[in-house]
Structure 1
Amino acid sequence: MASPRFLVVSLGNQAPYFDCLHSAGHFAIAAAQKTLAPSQPPFATERYGKKSCKVSSAIPYTFVQSPTMMNICGPWVHATWKELLQRHHLQPSELGLVLVHDELEATLGTVKIRKWDASHRGHNGVKSVKKSMDPLNYPRGRWSRITIGIGRPAERTSDVVSDYVLRKMTSREVKTIDTEVGPKIIHCLRDLQDEWEKSP
């Protein structure tokens, strides 16, 4: 089977919360694009899922920053998935779907591959996407997630956690993602590609 193309979608928020820890995925795929440049073009504004969004499109990766707020991103991800299949005349088995999102508890800058069906651990963006995508008749063998660690607050109450993930990232946190995370994202994507190429 031919190597899959990848729709790599970062989950996060829009203004006024674009540069918060909960939007670390957006900064992570921006760092990944820079790691691959010039073969991966700079982000530009395009329309997917009937919304304007930031896109960097090449082969095999189409990086897209979700233009919706985190908790309601699922329908847009589904619409974008369908649109990319149509634009490039692909079968679902020829398009890998990878969500890139923040992970509470993991150390800042830690990057991990998570199986699609692994627990969402209370992440509302992942919950929204799974609610929209999982009931549909698509093959899911090439769907996965890549998580970006953002640390954790000292307390675990819902109010403290909410304030933590929605606070603006510090310059140190932005620099960590910008300089350390991009190559790790690409390494994960290539590991996924190797795995998928070996699968029947």
Structure 2
Amino acid sequence: MSPNPPLFLASIGNPPPRWHKTLHSAGHILLRALAQHLDAPLQPMAPYSLPAHPPPRDHPGPYTARTQLPHTRTPLTLWQSPSLMNVSGPTLIRTYEKWCAERGGAIGGVVGITKTSAAAAGANIIREDSQSQSQTPQAPSETKHVKGNNNNDTKPIPLNLILLHDDLELSPGKLSVRRGGASLSARGHNGIKSVVNSLVKAGMLTAARGAGKKKGGGVISSAGAIDPTRFQLTRIGVGIGRPASREPEVVAEYVLGRMPDRQVEVTEGLVEELVRILEKEVGMMIGE
């Protein structure tokens, strides 16, 4: 068994069949390509996971697969959201909490952060890395640090939930990596907003300033309290480009449009880069 923390990679978009290959579902397209690349095809969850109960052709999901990263052998769960983009959060976070509970994450839904291990949680930190975006310089990695002493008690702790989504700010064929808490801008992306809001309600992130008091219990260690402001979410954006106009109606029509076949190929071709990013995230989580 790998000593590395398991990862939960979740794509958000719009459900099939109507929006199966739209620009807004670029995260789903890349997740499916990754599943094929790792020889772990996505399957519908119960009850449709049973041979006697095949799903209908228009089944929206969720779809999932369990596999591992090729280099670090890190356990990896792939999960395709069944929800409409703008309400992705509740179902995703409920599933993530259940997934964490099945793997021993007792408090706050974060695997490995328990009353006996949280005292050492400072070892599982994300470090600033200016090279993390060498392939996408126009979208540098962003890591939000909490004010405090320069020691492990104030450094960020990554959730092992990684979000895969479409990104208007990137050209097709590009990936971005952004890390941060609720205060990290969603850049107008309603799916990201929904996920972050659900994480705040679950006590896994702290609400952005001025957003009201967070709900949830946070994480408590044997050595004292670990403030949820230390937790951060990794977001991987899949470039889809943006229309010339920034009018909301134009943008909405654009993202709901079908992705051209050539662009689908380009997006699916990002698989190896995505694997490298995930392997690097594992290294950051274990402090390498």
Same fold (TM over 0.5): yes
Where does structure 2 lack aligned partners over 5 or more consecutive residues? 48-59, 69-74, 113-158, 205-227
Q: Which residue does 2:127 correspond to in 1?
A: none
Higher relative CO (Cα under 8 Å, sequence separation at least 6) belongs to 1
Q: Which residue does 2:162 correspond to in 1?
A: 98
Q: Which runs of 4+ in 1 moved over 6 A?
A: none
Letter in 2 for 1:80: T
Q: Which residue does 1:21 correspond to in 2?
A: 23
Q: RMSD of the TM alignment (CA)?
A: 2.0
Q: CA deviation at 1:192?
A: 0.7
Contact persistence 1:25–1:148 (CA under 8 A): yes
Q: CA deviation at 1:82?
A: 1.1
Deviations 1:127-161 (A, max 9, x none): 00111102433356463111100011111111111
Q: Which residue does 2:238 correspond to in 1?
A: 148
More strand by share: 1
Distance 1:159 1:52, change over 3 A: closer
Give the number of aligned pairs. Answer: 192
Residue 127, structure 1, aligned to residue 193, structure 2? yes
Contact persistence 1:142–1:196 (CA under 8 A): no
Distance 1:67 1:79, change over 3 A: same
Distance 1:75 1:195, change over 3 A: same
Contact persistence 1:34–1:182 (CA under 8 A): no
Distance 1:192 1:147, change over 3 A: same
- Bigger Cα Rg: 2
Aligned with residue 265 of structure 2, among 152, 165, 175 = 175
Percent of aligned pairs with the same amino acid:
32
Q: CA deviation at 1:90?
A: 3.4
Q: Which residue does 1:10 correspond to in 2?
A: 11
Aligned with residue 57 of structure 1, among 39, 45, 66 = 66
Q: Which residue does 2:174 correspond to in 1?
A: 110
The normalised TM-score by structure 1 is 0.88
More helix by share: 1
Output the CA distance in 2 between the equivalents of 1:189 and 1:115: 13
The normalised TM-score by structure 2 is 0.62
Contact persistence 1:78–1:133 (CA under 8 A): yes
